[in-house]
Every structure is written in C-alpha cells, then in structure tokens.
Amino acid sequence: MTTVVIVDDHSIFRSGLRADLADDLEVLGEADSVATALVLLGTVSPDVVLLDVHLPDGTGADVIAGAPGPRYLALSVSDSAEDVVGVIRAGARGYITKGSSGADVSAAVRAVAGGDAVFSPRLAGFVLDAFGAVAGESASSAEELDRLSAREQEVMRLIARGYAYKEVASELFISIKTVETHVSAVLRKLQLSSRHELTAWALERKLL
C-alpha cells in the first residue's frame, strides 16, 4: 500500500483527486497551505506527497524545503517551464499537469514512490531545450552535469514525442529499468546543474 498526502488549496480538486486515485493508494491526509502541510507532514509520513506548485501562503518549493522527508510529485495547472523547473529543482521527483486522468496520476504516484522520476512530454521538451540538446550539445562523460549524454537525449526525445517508458524501452531495445535510470539521471542533472538557462530561472524565482 502506497500512502499519499495531497497538498492543494482547492478543496474541490482535492476531493476529486481523492476519488480518482486508484484503490492501492491510501490518502493519509490533505492540506491547503504551506503551514498546514508542514504541520500535517510533522505527524504523518507518507510515501508520496502530491503537491500543488502554487499555494496561498507560498510555493510548493517551500513545503519541500520545510519537510524534506517524503518524495514529492508536483501537480499544477501551469505548464510553464519556470514553474516546473522551480519545483523540480526544489526536490520534486516528477511533475504532471492537473488535467491528467486519475489513472495517470496513480501511475505517476507509484513511479515516484518506487524512486523513479516522472517526466511529462512537456518537461522532456523543456529539458532538451534547456540543456542545449537541440543545438547539438552532448555530454562526453557521465559526471558532466550541464549537458545530457546521447542516450539521455534519445530517451528525452521519445518522451517528448509522447512515448511511455515501456515504449521508449522497446524503441531503444533497452530494459524499462534502464530507461528509468536514464530519466533519474536527467532529473538529477536538472536539480544539480548550474547551466545558465536553469540558474537564470531559479534565480528569478529566488530558489538559490
């Protein structure tokens, strides 16, 4: 059983999401602001926190900073790159839009709970852009944080084209586990890289 906490300031959305989540996910509690979320996360320890990017008294990033224990999956109506990157760099393991179906959200929660990263096509497209992959930049060593390796670029491209992990795996003749490893590596780069495009956004959102 995977345990979940929902942090979102819209009660209708919370109850809708709660009803839509798959049966194997147990909702431990809900919060509607940064303050109540931090109080709640002090008493329960869920596997995954579904986190809205915008909250009335702060941002999703504030919640992550205040309670770094659980894994976070960001949920937002905003699909602007700045919002997404802000919350990912703060530590979220993935990002999906609020338009996603209950099944999609449940699948994403399970993936995040299992330690994987969840990338939407839009986020993948943004990553390709921000790491200069479109312009032909490519990392030469695995330690390099500011560029993507050729394989990571391939995986990101397929995700941007709307392929699920399983489809990416069969397309590239690799195992799903390998796809997940690549995606996690990209997530790590997204969080740790000091590439100008990323830091500029982070600075703008006062994350550094």
Q: Check residue 141 for interaction with another protein (CB under 8 A).
A: no
Q: How far is the CB of 78 from another protein (least distance, A)?
A: 7
Q: Check residue 34 for interaction with another protein (CB under 8 A).
A: no
Q: Check residue 163 for interaction with another protein (CB under 8 A).
A: yes
Q: How far is the CB of 128 from another protein (least distance, A)?
A: 5
- Listed as own residue / partner, the contacts of 156-163 with beta carbons closer than 8 Å and 24 or more positions apart are 156/119, 156/124, 156/127, 156/128, 156/186, 157/124, 157/128, 157/133, 159/119, 159/121, 159/124, 159/183, 160/121, 160/122, 160/124, 160/125, 160/128, 161/121, 162/121
Q: Which one among 2, 18, 20, 151 touches another protein, defined by CB under 8 A?
A: 20
Q: Check residue 10 for interaction with another protein (CB under 8 A).
A: yes
Nearest CA to 120 out of 87, 96, 99, 100 is that of 96
Helix (H, G, I), strand (E, B) or coil at 150: helix
Q: Check residue 29 for interaction with another protein (CB under 8 A).
A: no
For residues 70 and 83, give the distance between their C-alpha atoms in angstroms, rounded to a whole number. Answer: 21
Q: How far is the CB of 124 from another protein (least distance, A)?
A: 7
Q: Check residue 36 for interaction with another protein (CB under 8 A).
A: no
Total interface residues for another protein by CB under 8 A = 36
Q: By the 8 A CB rule, do 87 and 110 touch?
A: no
Residues of span 44-83 touching another protein by CB under 8 A: 54, 77-78, 80
Residues that bind another protein (CB under 8 A): 9-10, 12-13, 16, 20, 54, 77-78, 80, 97-102, 121-122, 124-126, 128-129, 133-136, 157, 160-164, 167, 170-171
